């Protein structure tokens, strides 16, 4: 699930209630600007359809859309068209948790084990985790158990039902409450908490305590019965037709469907205007500056500063105007969302899309809200975006050379060398800042050639040294964003014995392929989503950012606040029948070395083995460029990828069972235990 941000308003409340008539006579420029940016996201940034709505003092004052509901028919998006809202769903489960506190059924600062008796982890510190820590991302839980959660036309509760069992073998990456870093599993646990305490399923709780009082008819979950044709169509590169319905079955984390108007209406609950649903006290508690309770960057101008359920409670650029803004964003594989609200002005905007990105939606939301409050006279003018000059290099103090060395983040390690006041860095900011050279400019800071990205080193109170990035990035045609994050932490070298080195060297750059993912999973749209590539830093004793412990195990040591420490993992290798396997987060993967070519004869069978694990094949020279026809059981399916890992056909998405096999590609079959696939290969 992707980033989210929220902010609390400190400006004076506008005294005159706003009516729809006020909006119509004063906001033509707002409407035009919104259409301009919405059309840009559709034309240039991959969205097929986008929907947005502004609510002001309880009235919808702007509701519009861009793009299409269906590419084939070119039918338009309407205000009734539904979208997945991704991680904006976290504000709903957080509000539900706070409702339980209002009912005096829970105390958010009591251990979670008080309410979920069977919550256990391998790390004894789990007993200190509280519901508050789940909502502010400070529980110390590794991150996300995504397995079998994003499914096509399949609302299987397997992910929900198995989470507590999988957590039993997990460790923590930090002391509970030590720092906040994005954690999806925390909101899965909140979903379970709501169910255990209320006695209702989570979907029933939402319907009873949120949707009915607010008269939300379009706010649904994958477990609900509703007209799926109301969901806007979704698309994937290389597949010409619309995809089946995406069900994000981790509902508390990111599984709700809704409309922009209804999301903006729900915001009234979050800012304390519907005390019949959530008390003002609880709404204000959700807006508290939780991020400051632990290790955090010193800068206040940021788009990441966690509250309870919110990703930001002091969102830039509104903080530059003295206005508190709250923000939550979200991304599933197909849907993207942003909710920004100005509590003290009682104004909210929701932006939902099929395709595109939650980041684009959040930039849209900020820009249009600024236009709107400017038109209302809440701010005098919109400040110009920040501009930057190329850096002026100065002489660097020699003591900064001590920051050279090994650094790590989730998934990788890098060896950073500071030399002659310069440092070469890989891409930063989740790829928004490309690899480049940074030069020393004084005050412990290094800047890139454009001057918009600054790095420095922080030695924090937990004893860890972090590489910090402060960057302004421009998205052409949309706007500018700022983020201050810790990107890497300094690591100690981990010497290995020669025998351990030999075994791990053999795994370097090897791929391991998922066996446990249901064939209805959306992950089959891309081989990279199913493969784990192991990158071994043999000289320092690390593998894909984890610290090697012995010949078959490596453990997470990354403790990075904000975002880059999210979704940590351990690596556990094992052997069965002379084949090597890898286990991560309770999911098994098979080594590429153990995968055989598909039988090159005309007719063959593939049988799903006991346990229901997927079966992988390589496409060798004997089978490449031949036509494969598959007689597929109803519960089964298959996917074919080219040499670059691009999907050529995924039968559950296309309903096509014939495909030309690409050179150097791979095939995977999945289904229920005992499913038989009849395979025919013929020349073109």
Structure tokens at 576: 């069965």
Average pLDDT over residues 49-64: 98
pLDDT computed for residue 5 by the predictor? 30
pLDDT computed for residue 11 by the predictor? 27
Question: Could you write out the DSSP letters of every residue in 234-265?
Answer: --BTTB-SPPPPEEE--HHHH--EE-HHHHHH
Distance CA 667, CA 660 (A): 11
Task: Identify the H or E element spanning 38.
Answer: helix 28-44
pLDDT digits (tens, 9 = 90+) for 385-417: 999 999 999 999 999 999 999 999 999 999 999
Distance CA 628, CA 601 (A): 11
CB-based burial of residue 476 (10 Å sphere; 0-12 exposed, 13-18 middle, 19+ buried)? exposed
Judge contact between 96 and 205, C-beta under 8 A.
yes
DSSP 311: S
Distance CA 289, CA 287 (A): 7
Average pLDDT over residues 99-117: 98
Judge contact between 89 and 252, C-beta under 8 A.
yes
Distance CA 597, CA 619 (A): 6
pLDDT computed for residue 18 by the predictor? 31
Average pLDDT over residues 233-241: 95
Residue 318: which pLDDT band, with cuts at 50, 70 and 90? very high
Judge contact between 590 and 581, C-beta under 8 A.
yes
pLDDT at 432 over 50: yes
pLDDT at 506 over 80: yes
Residues written for the chain: 684
pLDDT computed for residue 12 by the predictor? 23
pTM of the model: 0.94
What's the CATH class of domain 596-682?
mainly beta
pLDDT at 662 over 80: yes
Judge contact between 167 and 144, C-beta under 8 A.
no
In this structure, how many other beta carbons lie within 10 angstroms of the beta carbon of residue 32? Answer: 11
Collapsed DSSP state (helix, strand, coil) of residue 399: helix
pLDDT at 1 over 70: no
Question: Could you write out the DSSP letters of every residue in 531-587?
Answer: EEEE-EETTTTEETTEEEEETTEEE-----TBTTT-S---EEEEEETTEEEEEETTE
pLDDT computed for residue 26 by the predictor? 56
Judge contact between 400 and 455, C-beta under 8 A.
no
Give the domain 27-63+80-376 fold.
Beta-lactamase (3.40.710)
Q: Three-state SS across 663-677? A: CCCEEEEECCCCCEE
Distance CA 82, CA 652 (A): 23
pLDDT computed for residue 684 by the predictor? 86
pLDDT digits (tens, 9 = 90+) for 533-592: 999 999 999 999 999 999 999 999 999 999 999 999 999 999 999 999 999 999 999 999
Residue 24: which pLDDT band, with cuts at 50, 70 and 90? very low
pLDDT at 224 over 90: yes
**12-27 core/surface letters (b: 16 or more CB in 10 A; e: else):** eebeeebeeebbeeeb
* Residue whose pair of structure tokens reads 């020699």 in the numeric block: 398
pLDDT at 237 over 60: yes
pLDDT computed for residue 28 by the predictor? 86
Distance CA 349, CA 337 (A): 11
Nearest to 454 by CA among 391, 386, 378: 391
Collapsed DSSP state (helix, strand, coil) of residue 61: strand
Distance CA 206, CA 220 (A): 9
Judge contact between 113 and 124, C-beta under 8 A.
no
pLDDT at 122 over 70: yes
Distances (CA, A) of 300 to 94, 291, 315, 452: 24, 11, 9, 17
pLDDT digits (tens, 9 = 90+) for 61-90: 999 999 999 999 999 999 999 999 999 999
Distance CA 135, CA 286 (A): 9
Structure tokens at 11: 């400006």
Nearest to 178 by CA among 304, 295, 313: 295
Distance CA 85, CA 101 (A): 25
437 - beta bridge partners? Answer: 424
pLDDT digits (tens, 9 = 90+) for 284-314: 999 999 999 999 999 999 999 999 999 999 9
pLDDT at 13 over 70: no
Average pLDDT over residues 256-272: 98
Nearest to 111 by CA among 128, 134, 98: 128
pLDDT at 19 over 70: no
Collapsed DSSP state (helix, strand, coil) of residue 364: helix
Judge contact between 366 and 317, C-beta under 8 A.
yes
Q: Characterize the bridge pairing of strands 445-447 and 436-442.
A: antiparallel
Collapsed DSSP state (helix, strand, coil) of residue 314: coil
Nearest to 83 by CA among 338, 234, 259, 333: 259
| Range in 17-21, 98-102, 272-276 with the lowest mean pLDDT | 17-21
| Range in 5-9, 35-39, 213-217, 594-598 with the lowest mean pLDDT | 5-9
pLDDT computed for residue 6 by the predictor? 32
Average pLDDT over residues 209-237: 98
- Kindly report the average pLDDT of the chain as a whole number: 95
Task: Identify the H or E element spanning 683.
Answer: strand 676-683
């Amino acid at each position: 699930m992707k980033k989210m941000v929220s902010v609390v308003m400190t400006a004076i409340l506008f005294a005159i209630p706003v009516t729809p008539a006020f909006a119509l006579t004063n906001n033509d420029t707002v409407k035009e600007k919104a259409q301009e940016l919405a059309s840009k996201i559709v034309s240039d940034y991959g969205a097929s359809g986008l929907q947005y709505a502004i609510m002001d003092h309880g009235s919808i004052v702007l509701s519009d859309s861009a793009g299409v509901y269906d590419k084939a028919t070119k039918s338009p998006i309407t205000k009734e068209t539904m979208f997945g809202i991704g991680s904006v769903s976290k504000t709903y489960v957080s509000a539900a948790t706070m409702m339980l506190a209002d009912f005096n059924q829970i105390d958010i600062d009591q251990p979670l084990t008080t309410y979920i008796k069977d919550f256990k982890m391998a790390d004894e510190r789990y007993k200190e985790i509280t519901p508050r820590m789940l909502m502010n991302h400070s529980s110390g839980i590794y991150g996300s158990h995504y397995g079998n959660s994003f499914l096509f036309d399949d609302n299987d509760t397997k992910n929900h039902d198995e989470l507590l069992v999988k957590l039993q073998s997990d460790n923590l990456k930090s002391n509970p409450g030590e720092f906040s870093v994005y954690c999806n599993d925390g909101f899965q646990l909140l979903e379970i908490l709501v169910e255990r305490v209320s006695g209702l399923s989570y979907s029933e709780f939402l319907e009873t305590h949120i949707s009915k009082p607010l008269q939300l008819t379009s706010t649904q979950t994958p477990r609900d019965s509703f007209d799926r044709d109301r969901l806007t169509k979704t698309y994937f590169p290389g597949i010409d037709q619309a995809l089946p319905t995406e069900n994000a079955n981790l509902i508390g984390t990111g599984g709700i469907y809704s409309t922009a108007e209804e999301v903006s209406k729900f915001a009234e609950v979050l800012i304390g205007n519907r005390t019949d649903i959530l008390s003002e006290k609880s709404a204000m508690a959700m807006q508290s500056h939780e991020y400051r309770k632990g290790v955090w960057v010193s800068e206040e101008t940021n788009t990441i500063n966690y509250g309870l359920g919110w990703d930001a409670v002091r969102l830039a650029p509104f903080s530059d105007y003295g206005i508190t803004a709250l923000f939550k964003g979200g991304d599933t594989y197909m849907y993207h969302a942003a909710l920004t609200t100005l509590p003290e002005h009682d104004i909210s905007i929701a932006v939902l899309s099929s395709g595109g990105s939650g980041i684009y939606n959040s930039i849209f939301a900020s820009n249009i809200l600024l236009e709107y409050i400017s038109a209302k006279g809440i701010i005098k003018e919109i400040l110009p975006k920040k501009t930057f000059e190329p850096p002026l290099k100065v002489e660097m103090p020699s003591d900064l050379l001590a920051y050279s060395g090994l650094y790590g983040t989730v998934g990788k390690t890098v060896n950073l060398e500071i030399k002659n006041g310069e440092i070469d860095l890989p891409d930063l900011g989740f790829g928004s800042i490309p690899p480049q050279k940074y030069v020393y400019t004084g005050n412990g800071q290094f800047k890139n050639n454009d001057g918009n990205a600054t790095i420095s080193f922080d030695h924090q109170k937990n004893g860890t040294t972090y590489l910090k990035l402060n960057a302004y990035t421009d998205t052409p045609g949309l706007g500018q964003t700022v983020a201050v994050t810790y990107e890497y932490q300094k690591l100690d070298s981990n010497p290995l014995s020669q025998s351990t080195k030999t075994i791990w060297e053999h795994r370097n750059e090897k791929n391991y392929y998922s066996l446990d993912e249901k064939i209805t999973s959306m992950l089959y749209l891309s081989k990279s989503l199913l493969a784990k590539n192991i990158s071994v830093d043999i000289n320092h004793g690390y593998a894909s950012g984890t610290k090697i412990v012995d010949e078959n195990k490596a453990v997470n040591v990354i403790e990075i606040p904000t975002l880059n420490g999210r979704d940590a993992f351990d690596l556990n290798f094992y052997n069965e029948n002379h084949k090597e396997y890898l286990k991560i987060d309770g999911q098994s993967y098979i080594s590429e070395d153990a995968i055989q070519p598909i039988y090159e004869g005309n007719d063959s069978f593939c049988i799903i083995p006991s346990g229901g694990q997927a079966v992988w094949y390589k496409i060798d020279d004997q089978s490449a460029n031949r036509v494969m026809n598959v007689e597929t059981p109803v519960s089964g399916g298959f996917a074919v990828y080219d040499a670059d890992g691009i999907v050529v056909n995924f039968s559950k998405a296309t309903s096509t069972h014939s495909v030309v096999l690409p050179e150097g590609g791979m095939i995977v079959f999945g289904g229920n235990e005992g499913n038989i696939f009849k395979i025919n290969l013929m020349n073109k």
